[in-house]
Amino acid sequence: MTVTSRLRSLLAGPPFIVADCYSALTARIVEDVGFRAAYMGGHATGMMHHAIPDHGVFTSTEMIDQAARVTEAVGIPVIVDADQAGESVADVRRSIRLYERAGVAGVHIEDEIPPKHSSWDGPLLAVEDMSARIRTAVDARTDADFVIIARTDELYSVGGGGTGSLDETVRRGVAYAAAGADVFLPTFATAEQVAVLAHEVPIPIAGYGTELFPGLRFCLATGWGVASAARLHRQLATMLIEEGNLPPDAYEFPAKETAIRQSEFDDVVEKWAVSTGRPLRPPTDPADR
């Protein structure tokens, strides 16, 4: 079964949570603890790898490059934040093909206009233009199971470009579904708003957060991974500069050997050494590495 068909199977089943990741290691951890899908958000990935804000300056090619590293590390489906998937519909076509080639199971395309989430209080992309992007994305995919998620920030009225109108969100959801989107993602929709949208919009509804409100097919639980990593790194860096030392557990994390597949690589080296008559080092405690 391909990762895209796995994601389609999840969409056909009970509601589920898609967990945050921004790197190959964090995706592997998400998979190892038992999540059935992972999500690479643009905010988290751009911040972690380039230390930049989510204003749309993290490019499609940079995201695709990082996504390929992530999908290589895991077997679960990975959903990626594709932002607008480029400046024009021509960019959208190329981006979708490259996301497919990178092994991504699905992407969401949004109706924000860069520089998004910034001091500029710009409008959203016109419904007609966003619909054209969705149609282009649908036409561009070579795998019919590749999932196209249409995100609207109409309810994201502070920093998102929307006006907060539920009626407009419904209008956009219906139009995006007609354009061929597989899933509708209304950012920051409340439980009450989700109930309305699930009734009015003829495709599955997704949300952000950890609460699977009635009517949601899945939630993208994002933002916590990079924030937690940066917070802990700052705490330890501060401790080191102020106290000159760190606690022993600063150098390890649970299931490290499993997360980096240590034994698989050790086996390869051992077979090579034995087959070529090279010496083997005595076994050591993993904690000594």
- For the chain, the domains span 3-228, 252-289
Q: Which two tokens stand for residue 31?
A: 């998979």
pLDDT, residue 120, reads 79
pLDDT, residue 244, reads 97
Superfamily (CATH H level) for 3-228 = Phosphoenolpyruvate-binding domains (3.20.20.60)
Residues 6+ apart with CB under 8 A from 44: 20, 21, 22, 222, 223, 225, 226
d(CA 256, CA 249) in angstroms, rounded, equals 12
d(CA 11, CA 128) in angstroms, rounded, equals 27
Threshold 0.85, pTM exceeds: yes
List pLDDT tens digits, range 69-122. Answer: 999 999 999 999 999 999 999 999 999 999 999 999 999 999 999 888 787 777
Phi, psi for 254 (deg, rounded to 5)? -55, 135
pLDDT, residue 157, reads 80
List the chain residues with pLDDT less than 70: 285-289
pLDDT, residue 288, reads 57
215, 198 contact by CB (below 8 A) = yes
Strands (E), the chain: 16-21, 38-40, 78-81, 106-110, 147-152, 183-186, 205-208, 216-221
CA torsion sign for 189, 194, 200, 204 is: positive
Dihedral Cα 95, 101, 104, 109, nearest 10 deg? 10
Q: Which two tokens stand for residue 260?
A: 């980096």
Taken as a whole, the chain contains a residue count of 289
d(CA 151, CA 234) in angstroms, rounded, equals 33
Q: Computed over its alpha carbons, how large is the radius of gyration of the chain?
A: 21
In the three-class reduction of DSSP (H, G, I as helix; E, B as strand; rest coil), residue 38 is classed as strand
List pLDDT tens digits, range 182-204. Answer: 999 999 999 999 999 999 999 99
DSSP 8-class letter at 94 = H
Residues 6+ apart with CB under 8 A from 191: 211, 213, 214
Residues 6+ apart with CB under 8 A from 269: none
Tokens 């594709």 found at: 82
Please give the C-alpha separations between residue 32 and each of 35, 64, 87, 103, 221, in angstroms, as whole numbers. Answer: 7, 23, 36, 19, 17
